[in-house]
Amino acid sequence: MKKIYLLLLFITALLANDKVHTYAKNEECKVCHTTIYDEFYTSMHANSIPQKDPIHNAVWQKHPHNKKLQRYSCGKCHTPAANNLDKMLTKGQKALPESKNVTHTEGISCAYCHRIKSIELHKKTNTNMITNTPKTYFGTRKESLESPFHSIASDGNEIFKNGNVCIGCHSHKQNKFGLNVCSTNIDNQMDQANCVSCHMPQIKGSVSNLSNTKTHAFHGFSGSHFHSDMLTQYVDLSILRNIEHFYVNIDNRTSHALLLHPLRVAVLKVSVTRGAKTTPLENQVFVRVIGKDGKPAMPWTADTTIKDTMIQANEKRSIKYDFKLQKGDRVDVVLGWYLVNPKAVKKLNLENETIATEFHLFKKQSFTF
Ligand code: HEC
Ligand code: HEC
Ligand code: HEC
Ligand code: HEC
Ligand code: HEC
């Protein structure tokens, strides 16, 4: 009986996330891929455990899997290279994120991501399938040199080019009530753009120290925490002036909603300067609130979306201001966000964490009439 039980546990672990593999350490890539390595350490992929991310930590502290079960089920996406991933994903086991375990602190590690062979689609969360060949990495360069340290999968892997390598973790996450806590529109590839081309553009600097390529794929993964300046080109701000009022237009030319995580709040701040006087107009807030019984709730108790004013994929949103513009007026438009909804900051004990409380300026533009 015990044997059958163990076998069942083993099978559930397999189904939950492929299986546990051993990965080369990030440190091992540093000598040759120094630029890419340094960039990676400015990204959230290198900070994906609670000990390195105060916002993740705040939510994890309140999560029932921490308080009651002591099982870091988040590891499927937050520490996918963990040497005890099977425990993290198996009911009844205990496994917490550890600040002294490199396989945890490396986050979404280099070798992990570069060994993703395919993605299995599932209802609750997708699953990354990993190659069994340890030192063979997928990439997209056809003209690559041979690497003295590892092999490069000769057939390449289309998913590194079309962005599907990202959707094992980023597509969606459903809670036990069937609510999608967050989801990214993964079908919509517009104008040849995809997750990789937008978030990992080719920038100056060589792929490795052994070659001298002009560019390499940016590994800082521009997003809502860091390097958001690299994404401003995908969101246009403009003004339409009428006699009695004017409109500010936000044109989101992105294949997903402007912000994805339900903790986020985007804000549009508009002010008019006439001569020496500046008049701030009312702020506009864009947010998706999840909850239960009509009240906001944590992701593990929420069963519905109670409000959604977030700017959607490919949406052009017009906001009307009842303000009569005159010749010479200057309108300043600022679009930005709070990583944590100010209404949730106190509940999550994040009052003293600047990253959670500061306003993050994304794009600013002035229009003179
Ligand atoms: C299916 C994959 C997946 C699982 C499982 C998962 N996450 Fe995440 N998590 C993500 C992704 C992807 C992001 C980045 C989303 C974004 O920025 O929009 C993220 C971001 C977060 C953030 C925002 C962090 C910040 O700095 O703003 C928090 C908080 C978070 N996750 C908590 C958790 C907790 C707690 C668990 C486990 C109970 C968990 N996640 C399980 C994929 C996952
Ligand atoms: C001894 C040097 C060396 C080390 C160490 C090294 N690489 Fe490489 N790698 C190379 C060379 C050389 C290339 C070929 C690219 C080029 O033309 O410079 C390459 C190419 C790659 C590619 C691109 C494949 C393609 O065709 O697009 C990936 C992905 C990659 N390495 C991942 C890694 C990872 C992950 C590590 C650490 C676990 C690592 N490398 C460590 C030398 C190295
Ligand atoms: C193994 C799971 C996994 C894979 C694969 C993955 N991510 Fe992530 N990603 C995460 C998690 C988890 C976070 C959130 C980390 C945190 O905030 O603590 C995240 C965060 C991000 C962010 C937010 C950064 C910020 O500043 O807020 C961006 C952008 C991102 N990922 C892009 C990508 C892209 C592009 C790919 C594909 C090339 C990809 N991710 C593949 C798990 C993954
Ligand atoms: C056309 C360009 C474009 C494409 C395609 C695109 N993104 Fe984004 N992404 C953006 C922009 C613009 C933002 C918002 C600005 C920011 O977060 O810096 C963003 C934000 C994000 C964030 C942060 C959201 C948050 O709430 O913290 C994540 C994570 C992300 N994208 C992942 C992905 C993934 C995964 C894909 C592919 C399925 C993808 N993106 C496709 C442009 C793009
Ligand atoms: C979240 C997944 C992910 C992580 C983590 C990641 N990479 Fe990559 N990497 C990619 C993708 C996708 C590409 C292909 C980009 C392209 O062709 O535009 C790539 C491309 C590369 C290339 C070839 C660059 C080029 O311009 O062709 C090298 C080398 C590389 N990665 C090394 C690394 C190293 C070293 C690390 C860790 C410091 C790392 N990667 C972490 C997804 C990842």
CATH number of the domain bearing residue 326: 2.60.40.10
**Domain that residue 317 falls in:** 228-368
Report the separation in Å between the CA atom of 36 and the middle of ligand 2, taken as the mean of its atom positions: 10
Would you tell me how many other CB atoms lie within 10 Å of the CB of residue 254?
20
pLDDT given at position 153? 85
Tokens of 206: 């060589």
Which ligand 2 atom is at minimum distance from the Cα of 135? 38
- Residue 126 in domain: yes
Residue 209: inside a domain, yes or no?
A: yes
57, 135: one domain = yes
pLDDT of residue 192: 74
Do 181 and 251 have their domain in common? Answer: no
Task: Find the ligand nearest to 29 CA.
Answer: 2
Which ligand 3 atom is at minimum distance from the Cα of 165? 37
Q: Does 194 sit in the ligand 4 pocket, CB within 6 Å?
A: yes
Let me know: does 143 contact 103? Beta carbons within 8 Å. no
Domain boundary among 163, 183, 217: 217
Structural domains in the chain (count): 2
Which ligand approaches the C-alpha of residue 32 most closely? 2
Condensed to tens digits (0 to 9), the pLDDT of residues 297-352 reads 999 999 999 999 999 999 999 999 999 999 999 999 999 999 999 999 999 999 99
CA distance 1 to 98: 33
Mean pLDDT by 10 residues, the chain (369 residues): 45 53 96 98 98 98 94 97 96 96 97 96 94 90 82 85 94 93 73 89 96 96 98 98 96 95 97 97 98 95 96 96 97 98 97 98 97
Fill in the DSSP letter of residue 183: E
Encoded tokens for 108: 């979404």
Atom of ligand 4 nearest to the CA of 235: 12
Domain shared by 52 and 8, yes or no: yes
Pocket lining: 56 vs ligand 4, CB cutoff 6 Å:
no
| End-to-end C-alpha distance for the chain, whole angstroms | 80
Separation CA 231–CA 225 (nearest Å): 12
Which residue from 121, 236, 127 is spatially nearest to 187, judged by alpha carbons? 121
Per the prediction, the chain carries an average pLDDT of 92
Atom of ligand 5 nearest to the CA of 107: 5
The pLDDT score that the predictor gives to residue 330 is: 98
pLDDT one-digit tens code per residue, 12-52: 444 445 668 899 999 999 999 999 999 999 999 999 999 99
Tell whether 159 and 243 lie within a shared domain.
no
Q: Which residue do the tokens 């007026």 mark?
A: 329
Q: Look at residue 222 and tell me if it is in a domain.
A: no
pLDDT of residue 191: 63
| Ligand 2 atom 25: residue of nearest CA | 139
Give the predicted TM-score (pTM) of the model: 0.95
Domain check: are 204 and 232 in the same one?
Answer: no
Buried b (16+ CB within 10 A) or exposed e, 11-39: eebeebbbebbebbebebbbebbebbbeb
Per-residue model confidence (pLDDT) at position 190: 58
Per DSSP bridges, beta strands 151-152 and 172-174 are: unpaired
What is the reported pLDDT for 12? 44
pLDDT computed for residue 188 by the predictor: 53
